[in-house]
């Protein structure tokens, strides 16, 4: 037997009982915190599986090692395996010149292969197909803008799901997305089994990272762009003509707000969108501390801004709000726990929480959110952060009914504020 | 390079910037979710450490394995290692006949070695010494009762801290606990370096689990009891005579409330005190689901009870409140995140949170709480649950100032309710 741990409460197994006023049955209340110094413990268990584990432990670690040394060794090995996996999952700043200013162990992002949408598509956005996955906040941005701009028929979508082997998989028998039931389904453009195979169809092939969101030219069999912000800017500004149906009719990046939107993105991207990943993927305490401070200082600042402004840039949502929203809607659901964003839940920020409800209550936005898929995706896929693979219970505040409650943020709109002001004078 | 993972946002590294209204500098907003199919990726990194990791990966896993197989293999190996460690850290129900009714993978507790305090000590509680550790909720119970009963001089204490090798260590140069500064310090009774050595001093030696709390007879050099509930019952009822100084003067288990206290313990122990451990130490989804439902159903029930009762059994705290408190004070601090007790934070239960503040504001109780030691203890010690060893930021609601705010629960006392009723009629 090998790993030792303190804090382990030891007591006799207790049957689960209910409070019953008249019961006189007394169960013992035995508990204490142990350090498991297991190789030398006087366990008398005769359970076969237990014996197998003990045997495996002895085989791996030897019978002669003193328990403390054994525990230290297991701990070191486990930690080393974690760092090795994390270095592959999340490149750290020690391997990136651009992130040299960050603490060692900080998460740094690789570059992308198809960073922009060629200008010709803006004038003639035909035969395009969108590949997304529901857990991914970056793909979610594209789904939100597609819904807000009324592009559901102009831009068909195929939804992949994370596979146990780390690839994005299509579900051949899942629902097709014609009816906009946002569940993983088949590849509607190329009838492939994995996104990797789709990337491989382009002329010249592809051996890079197969990421979502990905915009695909179904006629030319070519990847158009796999950079989320470039895709949402494109969807907002391209001329889809008669193919637009429904949607909010909003320009999400009006020219008079463009600088303000860019300024918000420059704050929100590194500290919030990427900030939660910098917390979760930090490989040193120093890197985590820097990330978590940046994240919560920025959330504090936005909380304050949203006390007097309905959306980030005034009375209507913009691309900056879309980018903020897809991180906030995942905050209590996954980042608070899995990425150790523990200082506060979103629920503890009244304005940010109300703002998230406000965004969610735009029908087109709510239609893009799938809480189950988000939780499954993160907890199933990021196994170095969740070694047991157990999916926690969904936080009670993260559901459609609670997010649909009144938020009273309409009162922050300029027109409402003006009419209140007028009635007071 | 080996483990693949979806959900990984890939983008160019971004310099951290601040919102500056006049800035025209545009940073690109590149992000997407990748699946790392790494062995075949076209990485051009020339970083030496990166190369080392790739080389190690190839050495371990071979160059020829297809990436998906590789990811599945790494994932399986990682998960198997976790289960192996967890079986040692937390015995599961498959190895315990008593827990046969629980889902497979449920946490089951070993029995204790010194379960009760011999009756002779009750009449003559002399030469006793207490061993505790600050992270442990079971040891915390004993510290709380010792403080409430005014037994600080009657029962000296030595405080151990968790070591990296899994043992409870004393800090020879730490503060002694004469002044009741609750920090880890030296072994005041036996001047040993580890608790294991102290246990070993007893006649006949000891090779079992060296747990806290532990009550020690300093004259006879013998372990008296290491079962927390037996110790707090003993401290509440034993006759310490002239050695009692200060304290609340309360009987924490008056005979007329004994059955009620026992009934509460029968609910709170399996579902809350041990319930949080059953969530955190579950080794199957089924075991976790059962534990987390039991936990939150019970918290819902207690929340409702506390809407009309200041403490569990009326107007004054009892042993049942002490037992509930030491779990609740750790809830948002560690259990919510590390043990996946994610449905709600304590903060989301107004009555349970107010009740926790009420208990905390008893000066003797607050003096036993060390939030830093609790976080350090759990996140540092339970490494199978926290493989990176990174300690998350302390939740903002878990601090002395916030817990010291008015809770208005005095109004629930019978005398106050009666006087309000009298003034109304």
ipTM metric: 0.82
Cβ atoms within 10 Å of B263's Cβ, excluding its own: 23
Cβ atoms within 10 Å of B66's Cβ, excluding its own: 12
Catalytic residue among B107, B131, B136, B253: B136
The pLDDT score that the predictor gives to residue B173 is: 76
3-class secondary structure, A95: helix
The CA distance from B102 to B281, in Å, is 14
Question: Which chain B residues are Cβ-neighbours of A10 within 8 angstroms?
Answer: 109-112, 209, 211
Cβ atoms within 10 Å of B239's Cβ, excluding its own: 10
Using the predicted structure, report yes or no on whether residue B33 has a pLDDT greater than 80: no
- DSSP category for residue B194: B
Q: Decide: B195 and B223 in contact? Cβ < 8 Å.
A: no
CA A103 to chain centre: 23
CB contact under 8 A, A35 and B210: yes
User: Catalytic site residue A136?
Assistant: yes
In angstroms, what separates the C-alpha of B35 from chain A's closest C-alpha? 5
pLDDT confidence tier of residue B17, bands split at 50, 70 and 90: very low
pLDDT confidence tier of residue B92, bands split at 50, 70 and 90: low
Lowest mean pLDDT among A206-220, B104-118, B234-248, B410-424: B410-424
Q: Which of A7, A115, A395 sits opposite B162 (nearest CB)?
A: A7
CB contact under 8 A, B42 and A5: no
Question: Which chain A residues are Cβ-neighbours of B53 within 8 angstroms?
Answer: 84, 87-88
Domain B255-361+395-424 CATH (choose: 1.20.1050.10, 1.20.1250.20, 1.10.20.140, 3.40.630.30)? 1.20.1050.10
Question: Which chain B residues are Cβ-neighbours of A389 within 8 angstroms?
Answer: 79, 285
**How does strand A128-133 pair with strand A157-162?**
parallel
List phi, psi (to 5°) of A222: -145, 140
Helices within A329-390 (DSSP H only): 336-338, 350-360, 363-366, 371-381
Question: Which chain A residues are Cβ-neighbours of B71 within 8 angstroms?
Answer: 165-167
Quick one: tokens of A419?
């009419």
The pLDDT score that the predictor gives to residue B78 is: 74
- DSSP category for residue B161: E
Q: Decide: A396 and B349 in contact? Cβ < 8 Å.
A: no
Using the predicted structure, report yes or no on whether residue B365 has a pLDDT greater than 70: yes
The pLDDT score that the predictor gives to residue B424 is: 62
Look over chain B and give the mean of its residue pLDDT values, rounded to a whole number: 81
**How does strand A33-35 pair with strand B210-212?**
antiparallel
The CA distance from B102 to B142, in Å, is 30
Using the predicted structure, report yes or no on whether residue B61 has a pLDDT greater than 60: no
| Positions of E strands within A170-306 | 210-212, 214-217, 222-225
CB contact under 8 A, B86 and A4: no
B47-53: which pairs have CB atoms within 8 A and are 24 or more residues apart? B47/A94, B47/A95, B47/A96, B49/A94, B49/A95, B50/A87, B50/A91, B50/A95, B53/A84, B53/A87, B53/A88, B53/B1
Q: Which of A33, A95, A271 sits opposite B212 (nearest CB)?
A: A33
Q: Which of A26, A31, A381 sits opposite B138 (nearest CB)?
A: A31
Question: Which chain B residues are Cβ-neighbours of A42 within 8 angstroms?
Answer: 207-208
Using the predicted structure, report yes or no on whether residue B54 has a pLDDT greater than 50: no
> pTM for this structure?
0.84
Residue spans of chain A under pLDDT 70: 1-30, 34-71, 88, 90-100, 110, 174-181, 420-425
3-class secondary structure, B168: strand
pLDDT confidence tier of residue B425, bands split at 50, 70 and 90: low
Quick one: tokens of B218?
């300093």
The pLDDT score that the predictor gives to residue B175 is: 63
> Measuring CA to CA, which residue among B340, B82, B384, B275 is closest to residue A392?
B340
CA B103 to chain centre: 23
Average the pLDDT over B76-87 and give the result: 76
What does B364-413 look like in DSSP terms, one character per residue? HHHTT--HHHHHHHHHHH-TTT-TT-PPPPPPTTSSHHHHTS---GGGGS
Q: Decide: B60 and A260 in contact? Cβ < 8 Å.
A: no
Using the predicted structure, report yes or no on whether residue B218 has a pLDDT greater than 90: yes
Q: Please count the residues of chain A.
A: 425
CB pairs under 8 A between A and B: 512
The CA distance from B121 to B133, in Å, is 23
- DSSP category for residue B97: G
The pLDDT score that the predictor gives to residue A12 is: 31
Question: In B, residues 293-352, which contact A (CB 8 Å cutoff)?
Answer: 293-294, 296, 301, 323, 336-337, 340, 342-345, 347-348
The pLDDT score that the predictor gives to residue A104 is: 83
Count the alpha carbons within 13 Å of B254 in the hemisphere toward its beta carbon: 11
In angstroms, what separates the C-alpha of B232 from chain A's closest C-alpha? 11
Using the predicted structure, report yes or no on whether residue B177 has a pLDDT greater than 70: no
User: Catalytic site residue A341?
Assistant: no
In angstroms, what separates the C-alpha of A181 from chain B's closest C-alpha? 21
3-class secondary structure, A242: helix
- CA-nearest residue of chain B to A51? B95
The CA distance from B118 to A158, in Å, is 70
Question: Which chain A residues are Cβ-neighbours of B37 within 8 angstroms?
Answer: 166-167, 196, 209-210
Which residue of B14, B24, B32 is the best one to mutate when testing the A interface, meaning the one whose CB has the most A CBs within 10 A? B32
For chain B, the straight-line distance linking the first and the last C-alpha, in angstroms and rounded, comes to 78
Tokens 């011999």 sit on residue: B118
**How does strand B8-9 pair with strand B33-35?**
antiparallel
- Asked whether the CA dihedral A235, A240, A245, A251 is positive or negative, the reply is positive
Whether cis (ω within 30° of 0) applies to the bond prior to A213 is yes
What CATH class does A119-243 carry?
Answer: alpha beta
Q: Please check whether residue A130 touches B, CB under 8 A.
A: no
Average the pLDDT over B184-198 and give the result: 94
Catalytic residue among A206, A277, A357, A380: A277
CB contact under 8 A, A395 and B139: no
> Measuring CA to CA, which residue among A14, A13, A6, A12 is closest to residue A33?
A6
Tokens 């579900």 sit on residue: A171
Average the pLDDT over B108-124 and give the result: 85
Quick one: tokens of B271?
């579902």
Using the predicted structure, report yes or no on whether residue B212 has a pLDDT greater than 90: yes
Average the pLDDT over B337-365 and give the result: 97
Average the pLDDT over B385-399 and give the result: 90
Helices within B9-136 (DSSP H only): 48-61, 67-89, 119-123
Write down the domain spans for chain B. 22-85, 119-243, 255-361+395-424
Question: In B, residues 158-217, which contact A (CB 8 Å cutoff)?
Answer: 162-168, 195-196, 207-214
The CA distance from A28 to B2, in Å, is 49
Q: CA of A84: how far to CAs of A315, B60, B162, B366, B385, in Å?
A: 47, 12, 26, 42, 17
CB contact under 8 A, A56 and B84: yes
């Amino acid at each position: 037997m090998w790993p030792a741990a303190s804090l382990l409460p030891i007591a006799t197994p207790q049957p689960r009982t209910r409070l019953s006023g008249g019961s006189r049955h007394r169960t013992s209340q035995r508990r204490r915190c142990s350090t498991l110094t297991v190789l030398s413990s006087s366990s008398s268990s005769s359970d076969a599986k237990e014996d197998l584990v003990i045997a495996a432990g002895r085989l791996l670690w030897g019978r002669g090692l003193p328990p403390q040394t054994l525990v230290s060794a297991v701990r070191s090995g486990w930690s080393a395996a974690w760092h090795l996996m994390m270095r592959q999952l999340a490149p750290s700043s020690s391997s990136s010149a651009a992130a040299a200013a960050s603490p060692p162990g900080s998460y740094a992002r690789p570059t992308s292969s198809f960073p922009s949408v060629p200008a010709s598509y803006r004038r003639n956005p035909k035969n395009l197909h969108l590949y997304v996955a529901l857990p991914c906040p970056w793909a979610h941005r594209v789904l939100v803008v597609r819904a807000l701009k009324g592009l559901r028929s102009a831009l068909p979508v195929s939804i992949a799901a994370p596979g146990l082997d780390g690839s994005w998989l299509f579900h051949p028998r899942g629902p097709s997305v014609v009816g906009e039931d946002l569940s993983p389904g088949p590849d509607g453009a190329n009838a492939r089994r994995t996104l990797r195979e789709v990337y491989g169809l382009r002329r010249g092939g592809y051996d890079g990272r197969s990421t979502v969101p990905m915009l695909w030219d179904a006629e030319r069999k070519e990847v158009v762009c796999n950079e989320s912000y470039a895709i949402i800017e494109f969807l907002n500004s391209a001329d889809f003509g008669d193919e637009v149906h429904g949607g909010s009719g909003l320009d999400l990046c009006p020219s008079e707000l463009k600088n303000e939107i860019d300024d918000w993105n420059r704050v929100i991207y590194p500290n919030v969108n990427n900030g939660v990943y910098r917390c979760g993927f930090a490989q040193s305490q120093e890197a985590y501390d820097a990330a978590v401070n940046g994240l919560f200082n920025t959330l504090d600042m936005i909380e304050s801004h949203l006390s007097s402004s309905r959306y980030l840039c005034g009375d209507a949502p913009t691309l900056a709000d879309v980018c903020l929203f897809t991180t906030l809607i995942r905050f209590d659901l996954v980042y608070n726990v899995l990425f150790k964003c523990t200082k506060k839940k979103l629920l503890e920020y009244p304005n940010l929480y109300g703002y998230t409800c406000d965004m969610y209550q735009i029908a087109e936005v709510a239609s893009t959110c799938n809480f189950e898929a988000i939780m499954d995706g993160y907890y199933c896929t990021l196994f170095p952060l969740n070694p047991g693979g157990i999916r926690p219970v969904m936080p009670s505040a993260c559901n459609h009914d609670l997010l649909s409650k009144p938020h009273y943020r309409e009162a922050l709109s300029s027109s409402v504020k003006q009419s209140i002001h007028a009635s007071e004078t």
